[in-house]
Amino acid sequence: MPRTKTRATHRRRIDHYLEPLLDEDRFSFYRSVADFADREVAPKLLGWERAGGFVPDSLIAQLGELGIFGLPIPEEYGGQGGGLTELVLSGLALGYQSHSVAITPGAAVSLGANPILKSGSEAQKRAHLPDLAAGKRMVVFGLSEPGRGSDAANPEVVAERHGKGWRLRGEKCWSTNAKWASHVIVHALTDPDGRNGHRSTCFIVPMDQPKVHYSEMSGKTVWTLSSTGSIVLDGVDVTEADILGELHEGFKVMVTTLNGGRLFIASLALASLAFALDKVRGYVQERDQFGGPLARFQRVQDVVLELDIALDRNLTWLMTLLERFDRGVLDREQAAKVKIDSSRVASHLLVEAMEICGGVAGLDEFGLARHHNDLFVTRVGEGSNRALMTQVVRPLLPECADLLQ
């Protein structure tokens, strides 16, 4: 029998669109995480932000107890045996309140555990996945560099042959969760003369090696509670057993990793959109101006409706792509497109939402400014939108693909 839906079920407007797209178990899981965020994150978030620092260790432990860190990891490795869909649902649920909170398990799974799950040897899976699934430790993906952002396929970090192994030199930056990481997956150049896409290799490197140096990047005004680190590799020795995937096939590991990561980033953009919709529609019905509620003005109604349409459309699109990703049939262009569009639309409409609400929207306690700032990361994270557009348009212009810049 179909479930009976009531207005009380949909405390967030996004629930109204999400519930028909999910089976009962998945929707119940999403609601349990959303309830957790409303109960454990929302009342404390402003205090954490004003005090400075990071997502509290106690909250990370709670997320581990909920099983968030093990969602797509098979049960044989201590995980929940789900797919990326479950992880994205947690992103929607947690990101509604805070991107910083959502990205902590999100990056730990999509950028840390997932590469090992998809590309690791059996020994590597046994060594890392059980602890990662329990949230006892994290692995960070070292991709971006001071001189390499969107051009991550050609890293400046170099791995040179040294005896029977390799020696790593260089710096990684913008590494999410670096503060809590036990290991870093280093994407390094191993064959400078190799053909495009076959020049690099990924290595799993312990963060406690003496020649690995971590420092937190200061001055950040986005994802303020999230750890974002610089990792310097000062002649770090690694062995063949530390290679993740195949030699000179680091690009393949990277692409596989970023495909899922882009879907998670899209979920954060839509979480912000969902928060803005609820905040604005509540405010404009309560705020009295010019002799009545703001909501009676057509221009105000237009913004509310645009928020709602964008959320409905892009959420349905994202859920469709997640089903394809979990079946292993999603093209990377599709993941890039939903990330590009969701981040751009949400960013544009957040500005509109803030204008409708007026000066109060600039206060940290109102919440919209937080989402406005954090949405910047969704436009540049997991590949800058501008760079991704060139990648996405190539199949549309096959006769000129080699000329596109």
Residues tagged active-site: 382
The CA distance from 220 to 208, in Å, is 25
CB atoms within 10 A of CB 179: 18
Q: In DSSP terms, which residues pair with 189 in a beta bridge?
A: 158, 200
Whether the CB-CB separation of 393 and 401 falls below 8 Å is answered with: no
The CA distance from 149 to 300, in Å, is 39
Whether the CB-CB separation of 284 and 300 falls below 8 Å is answered with: yes
The CA distance from 238 to 164, in Å, is 9
Strands (E), 1-144: 138-142
DSSP 102-165: HHHHHHIIIIIIHHHHHH--HHHHHHHHHHHHHTS-EEEEE--BTTBSS-TTS-S-EEEEETTE
